[in-house]
Amino acid sequence: MAHTKAGGSTRQQGNRVGKRLGVKIYAGQKVISGNIIVRQRGSTFFAGSGVKTGRDYTLYATRPGEVKFIRRQGRQLITVS
């Protein structure tokens, strides 16, 4: 007999939409004030000069310039200069 018996029900029904997290503007790219550079959960990247952190850990530019990723004391800093 080539049919499958009942599999039961699952607790978590349905799919969830993605939250569109991640790096939005990469190193070497130009930004203007207010541009979002990274959307993240928790502080994976930290704000350097020319960058501020939002309530939800979003990093955004506070001045126009070029984005740079720097590793300092084991942290990944993002700066705009």
Domains of the chain as residue ranges with CATH: 22-80 (2.40.50.100)
Query: How high does pLDDT run on average in the chain?
Result: 93
Side-chain half-sphere exposure of 42, counting CA atoms within 13 A: 1
Query: End-to-end CA distance of the chain, in Å?
Result: 70
Average pLDDT on 12-26 reads: 91
Cα 66 from Cα 37, distance rounded (Å): 11
Side-chain half-sphere exposure of 24, counting CA atoms within 13 A: 15
49-81 tens-digit pLDDT: 999 999 999 999 999 999 999 999 999 999 999
Residue 22 clears pLDDT 80, i.e. is over it:
yes
Residue 7 clears pLDDT 90, i.e. is over it:
no
Q: What is the pTM of this model?
A: 0.81
